[in-house]
Chains A and B, each alone.
Chain A
Amino acid sequence: MCTIVPISLTVGANRIVPAVAIPHPLGNPELPSTEEKALRKALVEKALKALQTEVNGQTVFN
């Protein structure tokens, strides 16, 4: 899970989930805390889905 997807592609990651921002990839300090946590959970669930998906090469899960 990363913010700068081109870097993850360059270094060879195979399952990539784009994140929010460099200083807070899995959060957004502008949101109320319950909403922020919901956002984080949705992103982690997307990562879990990526882990359960067959891929043939580098794949970005938007």
Chain B
Amino acid sequence: MTEKKKLRVVHYLNQFFGQIGGEEMAGAKPLVKPGPVGPGLALQQALGDAGEVVATVACGDNYVGDNLDQARLEILELIKQQNPDALVAGPAFNAGRYGMACGMIGQAVTEELSLPVVTGMYKENPGVEIYRKNLYIIGTEDSARGMKEAISAMVALLQKLVRGAQIGAPEQEGYLPRGIRVNVFAEENGAQRAVQMLIAKLNDKHYTTELPMPDFDRVTPNAPVTAMSKAKVALVTSGGIVPKGNPDRIESSSASKYGKYSLADFNDLTPDTHETAHGGYDPVYANQDPDRVLPLDVMQELVKEGIVGSLHPYHYATVGNGTSVANAAKYGAAIATDLRSSGVDAVILTST
């Protein structure tokens, strides 16, 4: 009879759960303790005979936060030395710095050691938003009250990952949605399901949407421009207006990038100089006269007339069609940084 090999599990904890100390030890460098520590005891119990918590790697949350690259390297090395089969990180509950550390270490172990990783966090932990796409994060309570349930769900999922079993939907397995779409066969077609949902909604009954809307930001409006005749204004568009030939090959749908293009030589956009890269709407009108989407011709007139101080000599363009909110926000932030460093006072953003 051959004995089934026990899974070698390394457990990552912060200074508090790793029993180094409290907040005063948040700057502690990473260290290894043999076997399970603190929540590791529950982890060992849940693993039973299937696995062994061979070591605990613990580190202060501030040390990780203040020395990201260095801490990543050091912790990864300590984990690697244990020759593990899998990593469990946390759970971090609603502790933000701890969640970020679990996410970063988890991602590093996934990418560089190609090992299965499970962590656990409360849904509003900032680590969730950053690492949910790369990691299995079990949804937990907001405090250590929920330790037992969290560890139990983390171990169940870890064992599936180790076996290479198919991972079910987030609500079945208890992890936070990763934004992955999977094709499934449904008993009833979409129209039937939609009508049933509508009827349930009209009757104030419970229903589950098949396409939850993302949470959108709300931002405080900026103060108005006080002297437009002195202001530098920029043009930005999600309508896909790019130089003829689309030099950056911005995709017609689900754009993976934005482009920055010089306007210095143009007073008017024409079919010879510009076109739209945007799919999903009839491009004929935008291609005939790209000013219909990016109003350069009238902006240049308004500058000449002294109504607008100056025009930022570049425009920025991406394609809104099917582009994810997360990517759009990323492009927006990068464009805003560039505009700020160029001293732009105001932006006209056009969308199709």
Interface residues of A (CB under 8 A from B): 1-3, 7-8, 10-15, 19, 22-27, 29, 37, 40-41, 43-45, 47-48, 51-57, 59
For chain B, residues 281 to 311, give those with C-beta under 8 angstroms from any C-beta of chain A.
281-286, 288-289, 291-295, 297-299, 301-302, 307-308
Q: Is there a chain A Cβ closer than 8 Å to B112's Cβ?
A: no
Distance, CA A29 to CA B173, complexed state (A): 54
Contact indicator A37/B224 (Cβ below 8 Å) = no
Q: Kindly state the separation between the CA atoms of A12 and B204 in the bound complex, as whole angstroms.
A: 28
Q: 8 smallest A-B Cβ distances: which pairs?
A: A27-B292, A14-B221, A24-B292, A24-B285, A41-B298, A2-B351, A1-B350, A23-B281
Selected interface stretch from B128-136, B212-220, B245-253: B212-220
B293 partner residues in chain A, CB cutoff 8 A: 24-26
Is B113 an interface position by the 8 A CB rule?
no
B285 touches A12 (CB 8 A): no
Query: Smallest Cβ distance from B253 to chain A, in angstroms?
Result: 15
Question: CB of B209 within 8 A of chain A?
Answer: no
Contact status of A45 and B285, CB under 8 A, knowing A2-B351, A22-B352, A53-B224:
no
Q: Are A3 and B216 in contact (CB under 8 A)?
A: no
- A40 CB contacts on chain B under 8 angstroms: 291-292, 295, 297-298
Output the nearest chain A residue to B227 by Cβ-Cβ distance.
A52
User: Which of B221, B226, B352 meets A55, CB within 8 Å?
Assistant: B221
Q: B184 interface residue, CB < 8 Å from A?
A: no
Known: A12-B217, A25-B239, A37-B298. A48 touches B283 (CB 8 A): no
A26 to B325 Cα, complex, angstroms: 24
> Closest residue to B280 on the A side, CB-wise?
A22
Contact A45 B302 (CB under 8 A): yes
Q: Is the CB of B216 within 8 A of A37?
A: no
CB A5 to nearest CB in B, in angstroms, measures 11
| B222 CB contacts on chain A under 8 angstroms | 14
Asked if B211 lies at the interface with its beta carbon under 8 angstroms from chain A, I say no
B228 at the interface (CB under 8 A from A): yes
Q: Quick check: is B167 within 8 A (CB to CB) of the other chain?
A: no
Q: Are A52 and B295 in touch, CB under 8 angstroms?
A: no
Residues of A within 8 A of B333 (CB): none
CB neighbours of B285 from chain A (8 A): 23-24, 27, 29
Q: A25, B302: Cβ atoms under 8 Å?
A: no
Q: Answer whether A14 and B219 are a contact pair too, CB < 8 Å, given A37-B297, A41-B302, A51-B228.
A: yes
